[in-house]
Chain A
Amino acid sequence: DTGVSQDPRHKITKRGQNVTFRCDPISEHNRLYWYRQTLGQGPEFLTYFQNEAQLEKSRLLSDRFSAERPKGSFSTLEIQRTEQGDSAMYLCASSLFQGANEQFFGPGTRLTVL
Protein backbone atom coordinates (compact mmCIF):
# COMPACT_ATOMS: atom_id res chain seq x y z
CA ASP A 1 0.00 0.00 0.00
CA THR A 2 1.61 3.24 -1.11
CA GLY A 3 -1.01 5.56 0.38
CA VAL A 4 -0.93 7.60 3.55
CA SER A 5 -0.93 5.41 6.64
CA GLN A 6 -1.76 6.28 10.22
CA ASP A 7 -1.18 4.45 13.46
CA PRO A 8 -2.99 3.55 15.60
CA ARG A 9 -6.39 3.45 13.93
CA HIS A 10 -8.17 3.67 17.26
CA LYS A 11 -7.07 4.94 20.66
CA ILE A 12 -9.04 4.97 23.89
CA THR A 13 -7.50 6.84 26.77
CA LYS A 14 -8.44 8.30 30.11
CA ARG A 15 -8.69 12.01 30.66
CA GLY A 16 -5.32 13.48 31.61
CA GLN A 17 -3.21 10.93 29.76
CA ASN A 18 -0.87 11.75 26.89
CA VAL A 19 -1.31 10.20 23.47
CA THR A 20 0.84 10.17 20.34
CA PHE A 21 -0.25 9.41 16.79
CA ARG A 22 1.93 8.65 13.80
CA CYS A 23 1.45 9.46 10.13
CA ASP A 24 3.47 8.10 7.23
CA PRO A 25 2.82 10.16 4.10
CA ILE A 26 3.25 9.08 0.50
CA SER A 27 7.02 8.82 0.16
CA GLU A 28 7.68 11.53 -2.42
CA HIS A 29 5.28 14.05 -0.88
CA ASN A 30 7.04 16.87 0.91
CA ARG A 31 3.90 18.44 2.37
CA LEU A 32 2.11 16.91 5.33
CA TYR A 33 -1.09 18.11 7.02
CA TRP A 34 -2.97 17.27 10.19
CA TYR A 35 -6.72 17.76 10.47
CA ARG A 36 -9.26 17.01 13.17
CA GLN A 37 -12.75 15.80 12.36
CA THR A 38 -15.65 15.53 14.79
CA LEU A 39 -18.81 13.58 14.09
CA GLY A 40 -20.97 15.14 11.41
CA GLN A 41 -18.45 17.83 10.58
CA GLY A 42 -15.86 18.36 7.92
CA PRO A 43 -12.15 18.13 8.69
CA GLU A 44 -10.63 21.15 10.45
CA PHE A 45 -7.04 22.12 9.75
CA LEU A 46 -4.56 21.81 12.61
CA THR A 47 -1.10 22.23 11.14
CA TYR A 48 1.09 21.62 8.11
CA PHE A 49 4.72 20.82 7.35
CA GLN A 50 6.84 21.37 4.33
CA ASN A 51 9.61 18.83 4.69
CA GLU A 52 10.64 19.09 8.36
CA ALA A 53 9.50 22.70 8.83
CA GLN A 54 6.18 23.36 10.53
CA LEU A 55 4.96 26.37 8.57
CA GLU A 56 1.42 26.95 9.74
CA LYS A 57 -0.62 26.18 12.84
CA SER A 58 -4.31 26.66 13.48
CA ARG A 59 -5.70 28.40 16.54
CA LEU A 60 -7.23 24.98 17.26
CA LEU A 61 -3.76 23.69 18.07
CA SER A 62 -3.60 24.52 21.76
CA ASP A 63 -0.47 24.33 23.88
CA ARG A 64 -1.33 20.74 24.72
CA PHE A 65 -0.88 19.74 21.08
CA SER A 66 2.50 19.36 19.43
CA ALA A 67 3.43 17.99 16.04
CA GLU A 68 6.81 17.04 14.66
CA ARG A 69 8.26 15.83 11.41
CA PRO A 70 11.90 15.41 12.36
CA LYS A 71 13.31 14.00 9.15
CA GLY A 72 10.79 15.32 6.71
CA SER A 73 9.18 11.92 6.34
CA PHE A 74 6.78 10.58 9.01
CA SER A 75 5.09 12.90 11.47
CA THR A 76 3.82 12.56 15.01
CA LEU A 77 1.01 14.43 16.73
CA GLU A 78 1.06 14.41 20.52
CA ILE A 79 -1.75 15.51 22.77
CA GLN A 80 -0.83 16.08 26.40
CA ARG A 81 -3.27 15.96 29.31
CA THR A 82 -6.11 14.83 27.08
CA GLU A 83 -9.59 16.20 27.65
CA GLN A 84 -12.94 14.74 26.63
CA GLY A 85 -13.26 17.49 24.05
CA ASP A 86 -10.22 16.06 22.27
CA SER A 87 -12.27 13.04 21.22
CA ALA A 88 -12.31 13.13 17.42
CA MET A 89 -10.86 11.59 14.28
CA TYR A 90 -7.35 12.86 13.58
CA LEU A 91 -6.59 12.83 9.88
CA CYS A 92 -3.26 13.15 8.17
CA ALA A 93 -2.86 14.14 4.54
CA SER A 94 0.05 14.68 2.20
CA SER A 95 0.59 16.43 -1.09
CA LEU A 96 3.40 16.71 -3.57
CA PHE A 97 3.88 20.45 -3.72
CA GLN A 98 2.21 23.79 -3.15
CA GLY A 99 -0.56 24.32 -5.61
CA ALA A 100 -1.25 20.62 -5.88
CA ASN A 101 -4.99 20.56 -5.53
CA GLU A 102 -5.16 17.04 -4.28
CA GLN A 103 -4.32 16.19 -0.72
CA PHE A 104 -4.21 12.46 -0.13
CA PHE A 105 -5.75 11.54 3.20
CA GLY A 106 -4.95 8.65 5.47
CA PRO A 107 -7.63 6.56 7.21
CA GLY A 108 -7.38 8.58 10.41
CA THR A 109 -6.88 7.79 14.08
CA ARG A 110 -10.06 7.81 16.12
CA LEU A 111 -9.40 9.08 19.64
CA THR A 112 -11.85 8.52 22.46
CA VAL A 113 -11.12 10.22 25.77
CA LEU A 114 -13.04 8.76 28.68
Chain B
Amino acid sequence: GESVGLHLPTLSVQEGDNSIINCAYSNSASDYFIWYKQESGKGPQFIIDIRSNMDKRQGQRVTVLLNKTVKHLSLQIAATQPGDSAVYFCAEPSNTGNQFYFGTGTSLTVIP
Protein backbone atom coordinates (compact mmCIF):
# COMPACT_ATOMS: atom_id res chain seq x y z
CA GLY B 1 0.00 0.00 0.00
CA GLU B 2 0.94 3.62 -0.20
CA SER B 3 2.64 5.37 2.66
CA VAL B 4 0.65 7.94 4.57
CA GLY B 5 2.53 9.19 7.59
CA LEU B 6 2.28 11.78 10.31
CA HIS B 7 5.15 13.88 11.58
CA LEU B 8 4.25 14.05 15.27
CA PRO B 9 2.70 11.24 17.26
CA THR B 10 1.50 13.50 20.11
CA LEU B 11 0.46 17.11 20.47
CA SER B 12 -0.60 19.01 23.58
CA VAL B 13 -2.24 22.43 23.35
CA GLN B 14 -3.88 24.84 25.74
CA GLU B 15 -7.61 25.22 25.47
CA GLY B 16 -8.38 28.12 23.17
CA ASP B 17 -5.15 27.88 21.22
CA ASN B 18 -4.97 26.76 17.61
CA SER B 19 -3.76 23.25 16.77
CA ILE B 20 -1.90 22.14 13.67
CA ILE B 21 -1.58 18.47 12.78
CA ASN B 22 0.64 17.50 9.87
CA CYS B 23 0.64 14.57 7.48
CA ALA B 24 2.93 13.46 4.65
CA TYR B 25 1.72 11.28 1.82
CA SER B 26 3.55 9.51 -0.97
CA ASN B 27 0.99 8.88 -3.73
CA SER B 28 0.98 12.02 -5.84
CA ALA B 29 -1.89 10.57 -7.92
CA SER B 30 -4.40 10.58 -5.05
CA ASP B 31 -7.59 12.46 -5.97
CA TYR B 32 -8.51 13.47 -2.46
CA PHE B 33 -7.55 13.23 1.16
CA ILE B 34 -9.59 12.88 4.31
CA TRP B 35 -9.06 13.75 7.94
CA TYR B 36 -10.64 11.50 10.56
CA LYS B 37 -11.00 12.00 14.30
CA GLN B 38 -11.03 9.00 16.60
CA GLU B 39 -12.05 9.37 20.22
CA SER B 40 -11.19 6.73 22.75
CA GLY B 41 -13.38 3.64 22.36
CA LYS B 42 -15.00 4.86 19.16
CA GLY B 43 -14.52 4.35 15.46
CA PRO B 44 -13.00 7.07 13.28
CA GLN B 45 -15.28 9.98 12.43
CA PHE B 46 -15.04 11.98 9.21
CA ILE B 47 -13.97 15.59 9.77
CA ILE B 48 -13.20 17.11 6.40
CA ASP B 49 -11.85 16.18 3.00
CA ILE B 50 -10.01 18.02 0.27
CA ARG B 51 -9.71 17.26 -3.42
CA SER B 52 -6.31 17.31 -5.06
CA ASN B 53 -7.23 20.32 -7.21
CA MET B 54 -7.64 22.46 -4.09
CA ASP B 55 -5.06 24.05 -1.81
CA LYS B 56 -7.31 24.88 1.08
CA ARG B 57 -10.70 23.93 2.43
CA GLN B 58 -12.45 25.28 5.47
CA GLY B 59 -15.04 23.76 7.71
CA GLN B 60 -16.40 24.64 11.09
CA ARG B 61 -13.29 25.55 13.14
CA VAL B 62 -11.16 23.33 10.91
CA THR B 63 -9.05 24.12 7.87
CA VAL B 64 -7.16 21.64 5.74
CA LEU B 65 -4.21 22.77 3.65
CA LEU B 66 -2.75 20.72 0.82
CA ASN B 67 0.74 21.27 -0.55
CA LYS B 68 1.12 18.99 -3.53
CA THR B 69 4.66 20.13 -4.22
CA VAL B 70 5.97 18.55 -1.05
CA LYS B 71 3.07 16.07 -0.65
CA HIS B 72 2.01 17.48 2.67
CA LEU B 73 -1.35 17.93 4.38
CA SER B 74 -2.18 19.82 7.51
CA LEU B 75 -5.27 20.07 9.67
CA GLN B 76 -5.73 23.28 11.60
CA ILE B 77 -8.20 23.42 14.46
CA ALA B 78 -9.11 26.90 15.65
CA ALA B 79 -9.81 27.67 19.31
CA THR B 80 -9.15 24.09 20.38
CA GLN B 81 -11.62 22.73 22.91
CA PRO B 82 -11.39 19.81 25.35
CA GLY B 83 -13.78 17.88 23.11
CA ASP B 84 -11.15 18.00 20.37
CA SER B 85 -8.91 15.65 22.34
CA ALA B 86 -8.61 12.56 20.17
CA VAL B 87 -6.36 10.82 17.67
CA TYR B 88 -6.39 12.39 14.22
CA PHE B 89 -5.67 10.43 11.07
CA CYS B 90 -5.16 11.54 7.52
CA ALA B 91 -6.22 9.04 4.88
CA GLU B 92 -6.06 8.70 1.13
CA PRO B 93 -7.96 6.32 -1.16
CA SER B 94 -6.36 3.38 -2.89
CA ASN B 95 -6.07 3.37 -6.66
CA THR B 96 -9.29 1.37 -6.87
CA GLY B 97 -11.07 3.74 -4.49
CA ASN B 98 -12.28 0.76 -2.51
CA GLN B 99 -10.27 1.36 0.63
CA PHE B 100 -8.39 4.05 2.47
CA TYR B 101 -4.79 4.08 3.61
CA PHE B 102 -4.51 5.61 7.05
CA GLY B 103 -1.48 7.16 8.67
CA THR B 104 -0.33 6.27 12.17
CA GLY B 105 -2.23 9.11 13.80
CA THR B 106 -1.49 12.09 16.02
CA SER B 107 -2.84 12.12 19.55
CA LEU B 108 -4.11 15.58 20.43
CA THR B 109 -4.51 16.47 24.10
CA VAL B 110 -6.21 19.73 25.04
CA ILE B 111 -5.15 21.12 28.39
CA PRO B 112 -7.97 23.01 30.15
Interface centre among B32, B43, B44, B102 (most CB of A within 10 A): B43
Contact, CB under 8 Å: B96 / A56 = yes
- How many residues on the A side are at the interface (Cβ–Cβ under 8 A)? 24
Q: Determine whether B104 belongs to the interface, using a CB cutoff of 8 Å to chain A.
A: yes
Total contacts A-B at CB 8 Å: 56
Q: Determine whether B41 belongs to the interface, using a CB cutoff of 8 Å to chain A.
A: yes
Q: Determine whether B45 belongs to the interface, using a CB cutoff of 8 Å to chain A.
A: yes
Tell me the complex Cα distance, A45–B104, Å: 14
Contact, CB under 8 Å: A44 / B102 = yes
When distances are taken between beta carbons in the complex, the residues of chain B under 8 Å from A4 are 43
Interface residues of B (CB under 8 A from A): 1, 4, 9, 32, 34, 41-46, 49, 89, 91, 94, 96-105
When distances are taken between beta carbons in the complex, the residues of chain B under 8 Å from A104 are 46
Contact, CB under 8 Å: B32 / A108 = no
Q: Determine whether A111 belongs to the interface, using a CB cutoff of 8 Å to chain B.
A: no
**Closest Cβ of chain B: how far from A50's Cβ, in Å?**
9
Residue-wise, chain A 28-48 has the 8 Å CB interface mask toward B (1 for contact) of 000001000000111111001
Tell me the complex Cα distance, A104–B41, Å: 15
Interface residues of A (CB under 8 A from B): 4, 33, 40-45, 48, 55-56, 58, 91, 93, 98-99, 101-108
B-side interface mostly: loop
When distances are taken between beta carbons in the complex, the residues of chain B under 8 Å from A91 are 43-44
**Closest Cβ of chain A: how far from B87's Cβ, in Å?**
9
**Closest Cβ of chain A: how far from B26's Cβ, in Å?**
15
Tell me the complex Cα distance, A33–B1, Å: 17
Contact, CB under 8 Å: A43 / B104 = no
Given known contacts A91-B44, A107-B41, A108-B43, what 13 new A-B pairs fall within 8 Å (CB)? Answer: A33-B99, A41-B104, A41-B105, A42-B104, A43-B44, A44-B102, A45-B99, A45-B101, A99-B97, A102-B49, A103-B100, A105-B43, A105-B44
Give 19 CB contacts A-B under 8 Å: A4-B43, A33-B99, A41-B104, A42-B102, A42-B103, A42-B104, A44-B102, A45-B94, A45-B100, A56-B96, A91-B43, A91-B44, A93-B43, A98-B97, A99-B97, A103-B46, A105-B44, A106-B43, A107-B41
